[in-house]
Amino acid sequence: MIHHVQTSRKAVAMTFDDGPNPIYTLKVLDIFVEYIINKTRKHIKNGSTLLFHDGFGDRSQTIEAVKILVSELRLQGYQFVTVSELLGLGDLDKSME
């Protein structure tokens, strides 16, 4: 699984896991918005992929977390790109070394 692309560009990709998992989905739904945000803040860096497990039940926590994160990351200068674009940025940076 790709969770990070080495790039100097302030770019991140967001993707959503649409398939419910019988073991983990209910656990994920119990997570509070602040926990999602705080954990993401600690690990975000150039080239990160943010994956949200929201494929089952109430998605309000994910929606609220995404609203806050998008606003904060834009203020920090991050650009939101697709996963394909992010992968391309990694290749571009490697070819420039």
Beta strands in 1-97 (DSSP E): 11-17, 49-53, 79-81
Q: Is residue 28 part of a domain?
A: yes
For residues 95 and 70, what is the distance between their CA atoms, to the nearest angstrom?
29
Q: Which has more confidence, 34 or 18?
A: 34
Contact between 19 and 48 under an 8 Å Cβ cutoff? The reply is no
Range picked from 16-20, 33-37, 49-53, 91-95 for highest mean pLDDT = 49-53
CB atoms within 10 A of CB 5: 23
Q: Is residue 72 part of a domain?
A: yes
Full domain range(s) for residue 30: 11-81
Q: What's the domain count of the chain?
A: 1
Q: Is residue 88 part of a domain?
A: no
Structure token digits, residue 86:
């992010």
Q: Which has more confidence, 77 or 67?
A: 77
Which of the 8 DSSP states describes residue 57? S
Which pLDDT does position 75 carry in this prediction?
A: 94
Q: Is residue 45 part of a domain?
A: yes
Q: Is residue 92 part of a domain?
A: no
For residues 39 and 62, what is the distance between their CA atoms, to the nearest angstrom?
13
Q: Is residue 39 part of a domain?
A: yes
Q: Is residue 32 part of a domain?
A: yes
Q: Is residue 97 part of a domain?
A: no
